[in-house]
Amino acid sequence: MRRATAAALNVVPTGALVAAAVGAVVWEVAGRVIEFRFLPPLSDVLGRIVTLVARGDLVDSLVTSLGNLSIGFTLAVVFGVLVGLAMGVSRRVYVGFEMYVHAFLMAPSIVFAPVFFSMFGLGSEPVIAVIVMFAVFKIIINTAEGVRTAPTALLEMADSFGATRAQRLRHILLPSAAPLAFAAIRIGAGSAVQGMVVAEMFIAVIGLGEIVMRAGRRFDAETVLATVIVLVVIAIVLMAAVRLVDRRLTGWLPSTARASGA
């Protein structure tokens, strides 16, 4: 119990908290001194968050966005890990999928938004599809590379002892892929939040994206920045949760192996 509590407290480094505090002070001072219309003081932005919560606008939109994010990110992780494992284990699968995975990774994911809109129409479905597109290919590539870079000596030893493919996968390939896969999942978490906002702004106009769109049309900088802060907090919490799971599942690995995926 104590170890779990300590791990949870260490998910966010102290340096990050100090940097956030310094950034908040700089933002507040700059907003007061410069008096720029599109850079209101942090205190005013935080006050707008309170107002949005009191009116119920932020809570309702947050529930919608978190629902889309949870479904899309879960699908991206499951599909990305499974395809990545298949590509890492099978040479034929790797050759068959590598070109397409890299092509989709390099292509701007938002260009597929009209396709998803025509397929699913308005609603949560196209938003979820865009979230998956933003996150899944990073996870696929890193998981595949983690499997493909498994120590050759361990694989040869497993072969010499007559290990089955399932035993090789469980005891060698999965531990080898874990650091890179979790690093990709953390990056994918931030990408998923970006995909959620982009899709909600330009496709379905729901959730937090709807708040940003309407506030932007009114040149309401406080509401826009208030929503941005909420989105940043969501991304930080999601990545911290992934890091916590990573430490619980791969804490037994040598520090050098875990550092390779950091």
Q: Which domains does the chain have, with CATH numbers?
A: 56-251 (1.10.3720.10)
What are the φ and ψ backbone dihedral angles of 151, each rounded to 5 degrees?
-55, 125
* Cα–Cα distance for residue pair 219/95, rounded to 1 Å: 50
* Nearest in space to 183 (alpha carbons), one of 129, 228, 229, 146: 146
Q: What is the largest CA-CA distance in the chain?
A: 72
pLDDT at 136: 93
Classify 35 in phi/psi space as left (phi over 0), alpha (psi -120 to 50) or beta.
left
* Cα–Cα distance for residue pair 143/154, rounded to 1 Å: 18
pLDDT at 131: 92
pLDDT at 67: 92
* Cα–Cα distance for residue pair 48/237, rounded to 1 Å: 21
pLDDT at 9: 47
For 130, other C-beta atoms within 10 Å of its C-beta total 30
* pLDDT digits (tens), the chain, 262 positions: 445 445 444 555 677 778 888 888 888 888 788 877 778 888 888 888 898 888 887 888 889 899 999 999 999 999 999 999 899 888 899 888 889 998 888 888 778 877 887 888 777 888 899 999 999 999 999 988 888 887 778 777 877 777 777 777 777 888 888 888 888 898 888 899 888 888 888 776 778 888 888 888 888 888 899 998 998 889 888 888 888 888 887 766 655 445 455 5
Residue 49: C-alpha distances to residues 5, 61, 155 (Å): 30, 13, 54
Residue 128: C-alpha distances to residues 74, 113, 131, 240, 255 (Å): 10, 11, 5, 22, 36
User: What residues contact 116, with CB distance under 8 A and at least 6 apart?
Assistant: 125, 126, 129, 130, 203
pLDDT at 5: 46
The pTM is what? Answer: 0.79
